[in-house]
Amino acid sequence: MTIDSDPIPVTLRWAVRLLWAEAAVVGLIAVWLVWADLTATRTDLLAALLVTVFAVGAAVALWALGRALLRRQAGARAPAIVLQLMLLPIGWFMIQAGLGWLGVPLMALGLGVAWLLICPPTTRALGFE
């Protein structure tokens, strides 16, 4: 394995920061879900646990992808982009539900991070050019 001495481009650094910020927010949601699961008086236990496990898994995946990208592992870019594009339908359904104040920024975040991951400086840093 060779160590690239070139500095990490600003675009890649910001993509990683935003992925880690998303991981932190989803992690906080997961903590809230655990609390809600433990304090609920009535619940569909299986559904509650599946949603909670999904949130924990998403937080871990976002954090791990950010870490892999920081280490310039090119294979982490595609899954990170897919996770960002998943924010588009989530944001769209939020807009449809009357939560445009949250849905629009969520969609912008997804598109913005995806753009940071495919722009030329990031592409070069990950060895695609």
| Residue pLDDT, tens place only, 86-120 | 999 999 999 999 999 999 999 999 999 999 999 99
Res. 15: pLDDT tops 70: yes
Residue 100 lies in a domain: yes
Residue 63 lies in a domain: yes
Distances (CA, A) of 96 to 23, 68, 101: 25, 35, 11
pLDDT of residue 2: 47
Range of the domain at 121: 10-125
For the question of whether the overall pTM of this predicted structure is more than 0.95, the answer is no
What six digits make up the tokens of 19? 């992925």
Residue 113 lies in a domain: yes
Q: Locate all alpha helices (DSSP H) within 1-129, ordered by sequence.
A: 10-39, 45-70, 77-85, 87-96, 100-118, 120-125
Domains held by the chain: number:
1
Concatenating the DSSP letter of every residue in 18-44 gives: HHHHHHHHHHHHHHHHHHHHHH-SS--
